[in-house]
Amino acid sequence: MLRYQNNLPKLPVPALQTTLQKYLETVRPLLSDEDYSHTHKAVQEFEAPGGVGEKLQERLLAKANDPSVVNWMEDWWLDQAYMGYRDPVVIYVSYFFVYKDDKLRKLPAQRAAAITTAALEFKKAVLEQTLEPEYAKGEPMCMDSYKYMFNNCRIPHKPSDYETQSDPLANNHVIVIRKNKFYTVPTVHEGRPLSTHELQAQYERVIELAGTDKGPALGVLTANNRDCWTTDRALLLKNSANKKAMDIIESASFVVCLDDQSPVTRDEASRACWHGDGRNRFFDKPLQFVVFENGKAGFTGEHSCMDGTTTCRLNEYITHGLAQNTVQHGHSTRTLPAPSQLSFHLTPAIEQAIKTAEDSFDALIDRHDLTVLAYNAFGKQQIKKFKSSPDGFAQMVIQLAYYKMFGVNRPTYESGQTRKFQRGRTETCRSVSTASVHFCKVMEDPHASTEAKIAGFRAAIASQGAYMGAAVNGQGVDRHLFGLKNSLLPGEPKPALFTDPANAYSSHWYLSTSQLSSEHFDGYGWGQVVNDGFGVAYIIKNNSLQFNVASVKDLEVHGKKYINGTRQFKQCLEDAANDLRDILLTEVPVEAKL
């Protein structure tokens, strides 16, 4: 698994002039002539010989070339993008996957047991380092983040959280939450792993033991503001029994949430996996497998130490393995000790903290909306017949949809992974370009010819593809500027480049987007990163596309309210995909019918 690790290149520091030129190119379509002139002047001052830009670049290069530094960005990024972030992880940090239905396993304990067996099989491969490295276009990816997957937990702390890792061999239990009550289920008994049948029996016992009454909603504390949770956790840990219980939760391999609700629609299942009722969860754990009363299932991930590509592989392994019957379920049917319920001593102060966290969570969720567009007209196979990159196609659908709804294009983030470098994480692909804006305008021009629209599309996806290619090679704009800002010493004045309004505006992500491909998922998403924008996660399948749209309810953008805006944007996505299909089909030869 780690055989390429030490030979992976270090994350590069791009040439200063290259980044600044690219930055100007990305802000040009977003700014008026007057604002662009102001930004251009700020860039010129920054890159002047002997100026502040060269000084910051020298400091950043010195850090990058320090033999003791593996990745110049990782400590800054982990703290400022995740651990130092004080808003709740739910909505703002956590993400989710919804699994397709398992036609063989419709009982919740049955499905949860199978998922657990597959996850533990993956854990074994990680621990034994037999898991094959990931590759992108033939190049090996960094596998370092897998160490944060199992027996890990995010710990609330002021001013910045931290992660804790427990011995994965000594801690072979999972935590099962039912009716807000926490149970510990060992997955090894007398030296032998539990079979799927034995796990199912244990989960059925948890359901029986939990009964019909809900327990105190201790888990909702993890959904609160991080400073509040830090204070509340300290109150909990004053009691030795509470501390022991928390240690058991935080050291567990992962969490299995046996919810008592039964979501039916994609929207319902997505919201249930995204946040649920906030009570039957422990959001600090990086892995939570959620199984519902009707057998539907999914996953909730804590994002701080692992990006979605890593947990996507885990979940793909689980869902594909169960669908193809390649998971080893075992055959033993032993009589096992009953699962143990963790007991907590709750003082009036802690009970009040739980009530406050519940109110905060309910208010937060009530402010947000989510909807899913399952677009079944075509998928990856047809897009390739259009002679287009599937990702580029989806990005232009998003750009055109936004233009349809707002009459303008605005800053867009697309996640590009930099895991070809040691401990690499992500870089921003800035999807809006001069070419993409022209494409949107010509698509909405009723007098433009089909040929002009197709030419506009080809130029737009070429621009998006070129930027993504640079981003995954560590040659994007945003992480480099992030590093330069962090190279300022305390007390040094910020250069005009960083105080220029265009700098903040061009990274105000009205659209935060990312994609994955899986035939086994029926949902994937997260929240918007700004309250006047959308979070748009999309799945590219062989014969369909799926877009998850999240935003605040009735969002307001630049002073204008959009009642039911989440669903308006969903409709615009469908219309944009149809429009693109119609023009591109004119170039596809008609296949003979038999």
Q: Which of 433, 405, 415 is nearest to 533 (CA)?
A: 405
DSSP state at residue 78:
I
Beta bridge partners of 524: 97
Catalytic status, residue 303: yes
Place of tokens 């930055």: 23
Torsion of CA 506, 507, 509, 512, to 10 degrees: 120
Q: Which of 168, 166, 204 is nearest to 185 (CA)?
A: 204
In sequence order, which residues have a C-beta less than 8 Å from that of residue 176 and are 6 or more positions away? 112, 182, 183, 184, 185, 203, 206, 255, 256, 257, 258, 339
Beta bridge partners of 297: 291
Q: Can you tell me whether residue 225 is helix, strand or coil?
A: coil
Place of tokens 């002009």: 452
Q: Can you tell me whether residue 524 is helix, strand or coil?
A: strand
What stretch of H or E contains 284?
Answer: none
What stretch of H or E contains 10?
Answer: none
**Rounded Cα distance, 337 and 189, in Å:** 9
What stretch of H or E contains 140?
Answer: strand 139-140
Beta bridge partners of 209: none
Per DSSP, the residues of 378-397 read --HHHHHHTT--HHHHHHHH
Check 173, 303, 480, 520 and give the catalytic one: 303
Q: How far is CA 70 from CA 184, 209, 421, in A?
A: 37, 49, 10
Handedness of CA 317, 321, 326, 329 (dihedral sign): positive
Backbone angles phi, psi at 423, to 5 degrees: 55, 30
Rounded (to 5) percent helix, strand, coil in the chain: 45, 15, 40
**Rounded Cα distance, 569 and 532, in Å:** 13
Q: Which of 268, 257, 274, 271 is nearest to 96 (CA)?
A: 274
In sequence order, which residues have a C-beta less than 8 Å from that of residue 364 and are 6 or more positions away? 88, 90, 91, 223
Which positions are catalytic? 303
